[in-house]
Structure 1
Amino acid sequence: MQMGEASKPSKIKVILVDDQNMIRQGLGYVIQMQPDMEVIGEASDGVEAVELVSSLAPDVVLMDVQMPKKSGIQATKEIVQMHPEIKVLILTTFDNHNYVVEGIRAGAVGYMLKDADSQEMLDLIRRANQGEALFHTVTAAKALAEVLHSQSNHAQSIVDQSFLLDELTERELDVLQQLAYGYRNDQIAQNLYISEGTVKTHVHRILHKMGVEDRTQAVAKALRHRLVK
């Protein structure tokens, strides 16, 4: 690099997983047109997806649900277990309640319909890469509520908080629940009647106490350990 030349910001690396070639081509064309993201690989089934993710280390994966050899849900579960830093967005034709529930439990950070507006898709990719949980359709919201409700019905004795570096305060738990619903800092501030700066402080402390790097990992861990009700 020549002296004085500004370093280019790194692009969001995306892998497309869908058994329909036309779907991958259409999504890939839109993504490749963006200055801040690039498609680094494509897979046509779940088995190929797991192998490709391990070898290419993307930032975000767009994952179809119904595919040969291995479903997108199972592939998502394996990817998140092996690479928790990678963000998986479930990609499907139908706004299906079961797909959302299974996707959440598998560790996906969001849910997107194939007929979504291209700008909405690009926004979801960017926000997922920043660590947001994105379950904002009506079906997704109901499914997420169901997962949280089912977990809250378990006996408190099975709640495992031993992984915490320090116990979360009541306010931090409030903020964590807001994160689980995918709210941004400004929305959390409005919902909890606190300043956005205070929200940022709480989020920083939550990440530290939970031993995670971003909001998505915090939400996934909170769901697994039933910290959100």
Structure 2
Amino acid sequence: MIRVLLADDQKLVRVGLRMLCESDPEVEVVGEAGDGREAVRLAAERLPDVILMDLRMPGVDGITATERIMAVRPSSRIVALTTFDDDDHLYPALAAGAFGFLVKDTPPAALLAALRRAMAGEPPFSQVVLERLVRQAVRARREPRAETAPELTWLTGLSPRERDVLAMVGEGLSNRNIADRLHLGVSTVKTYVASLMRKTGTANRIRLAVLAARHSDVRRPEVRHVP
């Protein structure tokens, strides 16, 4: 059974989410919160497995609530629910500890599948949200950064193929897209992604994509053959 907490200031949205969740016999809604403060309280009382968290709520917003919940329950799997104009909230939510990102118009079957992925420890995300995060990372890359050489030592430890895969993750490509481009099996790409997360110290694919997008020197230089 997947225990789910719903946090959204719009009651109609919560009702819709509850009806969807309760249509699955393996999902139990253990509580509803209309603001971030209540979400923090219910997370401590009901101990949900997954929290569907709206980012913009009155009083204590979803980002602050995520940070507070993660401070006391770091194993919490908080999936942020976003809208098309939430871009300014994506990075802060990621930094606060959001485990995954879904757009609010995610199809019902995909949302239920996302709950299962989160429960299994695999961060769920809508591809469009990952692409928005990557675009933000690219913009941030153009701004002055404080990284020093020692902080990028992980880059020198990557194989040429790992750099290829990392660069494509940074473009927001799926495992299937990467496999097609590099003529590899999807399982092989998954192995590379897992290795990259370990080597870079990133907790999930979303953070890995953002890291890759922030560094223009990820992809290995093209080999030029001198005639």
State TM-score, norm by structure 1: 0.70
Counterpart for residue 202 of structure 1: 192
Q: Give the length in aligned residue pairs.
A: 210
Q: What does 1:43-122 align with in structure 2 at a 5 Å threshold?
A: 43-92=33-82, 94-108=84-98, 109-113=100-104, 115-122=105-112
RMSD: 3.5
- Unaligned residue ranges in structure 1 (runs of 5+): 1-10
Indicate the SS of the match to 1:48. helix
Is this contact kept in 2: 1:50–1:79, CA < 8 A?
Answer: yes
Q: Write the deviation string for residues 160-200 of structure 1: whole angstroms up to 9, x where unpaired.
A: 358x7x94444334434555666543333223332223223
**Structure 1 residue 46: Cα displacement:** 0.8
- Distance in structure 1 (CA, Å) of the matches to 2:193 and 2:160: 13
- Distance in structure 2 (CA, Å) of the matches to 1:156 and 1:78: 28
Is this contact kept in 2: 1:12–1:37, CA < 8 A?
Answer: yes
- Distance in structure 2 (CA, Å) of the matches to 1:228 and 1:84: 26
Q: Check 1:38–1:169 CA distance in 2 against 1; reply closer, same or farther (3 A cut).
A: farther
State the one-letter code of the partner of 2:35: D
- When Rg is computed on C-alpha atoms for both structures, the one with the higher figure is 2
Is this contact kept in 2: 1:64–1:91, CA < 8 A?
Answer: yes
From 6, 9, 13, the counterpart of 1:23: 13
Counterpart for residue 4 of structure 1: none
- Distance in structure 1 (CA, Å) of the matches to 2:158 and 2:72: 27
Indicate the SS of the match to 2:20. helix
Matched, 1:188 2:175: no
Is this contact kept in 2: 1:89–1:112, CA < 8 A?
Answer: no
State the one-letter code of the partner of 2:25: P
From 199, 204, 207, the counterpart of 1:215: 204
Matched, 1:33 2:23: yes
Q: Check 1:96–1:69 CA distance in 2 against 1; reply closer, same or farther (3 A cut).
A: closer
Is this contact kept in 2: 1:135–1:182, CA < 8 A?
Answer: no
Q: Check 1:140–1:175 CA distance in 2 against 1; reply closer, same or farther (3 A cut).
A: closer
**Structure 1 residue 56: Cα displacement:** 3.7
Percent sequence identity over aligned pairs: 32
Is this contact kept in 2: 1:133–1:180, CA < 8 A?
Answer: no
State the one-letter code of the partner of 1:29: M
State the one-letter code of the partner of 1:220: R
Is this contact kept in 2: 1:111–1:135, CA < 8 A?
Answer: yes
